[in-house]
Structure 1
Amino acid sequence: MGLIILIIVGGVIGWLASMVMRTDGQQGILLNVVVGIVGALVASFLLNPLIGGGNIMAGDYSASSLIVTFLGAVVLLAIVNLIRRGSAR
């Protein structure tokens, strides 16, 4: 059950991050889920030690963990855009 919730939350967070970074038209629902879950990993390794917050990979679905995961997904999309286009937009 936790995996299904992680996939749903990862998809929503990946979709929101792609809307913010204006890459929504380039990726489908599968890539939104991947961005959300990988964004959660980025957040747990890079952002949690810096700003704190929970970790949705550990099953913590609080507001702070969702915000940190969203920031991780945005950072991930910025890095991908930087590598792909040479600008983070």
Structure 2
Amino acid sequence: MSFVLWIVIGGILGWLASMVMKTDAQQGIFLNMVVGIVGALLGGWLLAPMFGAGTINADDFSPMSLVVSFLGAVVLLGIVNLIFRGRIR
């Protein structure tokens, strides 16, 4: 069951991050899930040690882990925008 929850929460976090970064019109549901999950990995690698929290990839669905995963997704979209468009929106 945690795998399904991981996919759903990753999709929601990816969608919210795409809304913040204004890339939602260019992404579909699958890409939102990928952004949420990969963003959680990035957040776990970069941000989790600073905040002392886990991520959704470690089956930690606490509020702080959701924030870290969301911030990782936003950072991921910022990096993608910077590489492919030359600017962050």
* TM-score class normalised by the smaller sequence: over 0.9
| CA–CA distance in structure 2, aligned partners of residues 82 and 53 of structure 1 | 27
Corresponding position of 1:78: 78
Provide the identity percentage: 63
Taking the TM superposition and a 5 Å limit, the aligned residue runs for 1:3-22 are 3-22=3-22
Aligned partner of 1:23: which letter? T
Unpaired segments ≥5 residues, structure 2? none
1:52 Cα offset (Å)? 2.2
1:27 Cα offset (Å)? 0.5
Aligned partner of 2:6: which letter? L
| CA–CA distance in structure 1, aligned partners of residues 72 and 80 of structure 2 | 12
Aligned partner of 1:57: which letter? N
Taking the TM superposition and a 5 Å limit, the aligned residue runs for 1:1-89 are 1-89=1-89
Runs of 4+ aligned residues of structure 1 deviating over 4 Å after TM superposition are: none
Q: What TM-score does the superposition give when structure 1 sets the normalisation length?
A: 0.96
| CA–CA distance in structure 2, aligned partners of residues 4 and 37 of structure 1 | 12
What are the superposed Cα offsets for residues 12-53 of structure 1, whole Å, 9 maximum, x if unpaired? 000000000000000000000000000010011111112222
| SS of match in other structure, 1:13 | helix
Q: What TM-score does the superposition give when structure 2 sets the normalisation length?
A: 0.96
| SS of match in other structure, 2:16 | helix
Aligned-residue RMSD, C-alpha: 0.7
| CA–CA distance in structure 2, aligned partners of residues 25 and 42 of structure 1 | 23
1:78 Cα offset (Å)? 0.1
